Amino acid sequence: MFSGTAVDKLSSAGDTLHSAGKNDSGWIMHHITDSRVLDFQPFGEIHIPQFPVVFGVDITPTKHVVYMWLASVLIILIFGFVAGKYKKTLIPTGIVNFFEVIIVFIRDEIARPTLGHNYAKFLPYLLTVFFFILFGNFLGLLPYSATFTSNIAVTATLATFTFIITQLGGIRSNGLIGYMKGLVPHGIPSWMLVIMIPVEILGLFTRPFALAIRLFANMIAGHTVILALIGLIFFMQTIFVAFISIPFTLFVYMLEILVALIQAYIFTMLSSLFIGMAVHQEH
């Protein structure tokens, strides 16, 4: 998985290409795919120890799992510290004030407009998914780390959580029968139900699918572009290409910082919107 600045990856890219003995794109896949090796080239690499097999399932973590653990620990530590400081002072300052601004933004600009008076029930989930994605996106921009949000399994799991909460919220607010009836637009002719019911049921699953693909595609695309630009130096075997590829790489890297923020916001906003549509059905 690509991580870090363009300069940090130049040496690693050159070593990988040299060891491959040919100029191909295999080294790009080596960096953007998951593995059981933590790559710290040119300083070396760490192989994750093999875990025991439980009920026929290999539970050995991969590097994406390791960085998910790291993101989770950082969230717990940072917000534990923020919560402790917030209880001791009436006027937050510093890092407490910084995170308060973000939390208030999510509450007032995402949760309240889409969920109405029920926003407080779903706000903890929205805050958790926002900061988990945000920390994951930014970890992938640090040297020698990995972007677990570019793993389709991770984004699909997050989207599944949104799907489950959406269905449970809709059923809790409208009842099972009322929720199922609300999925079909009111007032349509009875003969169209044969068409509309399968379409609406399919729509329930296309929403989380779109969430998963959007986050996955945006995060993996940026890293692939950066690696491809760096690779031009080695593919064309001339340092003069660096005067073009490095500035473009730095530009895309700066753009990735913005994308990291936007994608966390979009996933959270759409999750809140889908939950709101299920909770407040139009009859």
> Given pLDDT bands bounded at 50, 70 and 90, which one contains residue 25?
low
pLDDT at 264: 95
pLDDT at 146 (0 to 100): 85
Assign 18 a pLDDT band (cuts: 50, 70, 90).
Answer: very low
Which pTM was predicted? Answer: 0.84
Confidence of residue 10 (pLDDT cuts 50, 70, 90): very low
Instruction: Enumerate residues 6+ apart whose C-beta is below 8 A from 254.
Output: none
Domain map of the chain by residue range?
Answer: 6-279
What is the three-class DSSP state of 200?
Answer: helix
45 phi/psi in degrees, rounded to 5: -150, 155
DSSP string across 204-251: HHHHHHHHHHHHHHHHHHHHHHHHHHHHHHHHTT-GGGHHHHHHHHHH
Rounded to whole angstroms, the Cα distance separating 138 from 2 reads: 12
Give the number of other CB atoms < 10 A from CB of residue 265. 17
Q: How large is the average pLDDT for residues 243-265?
A: 89
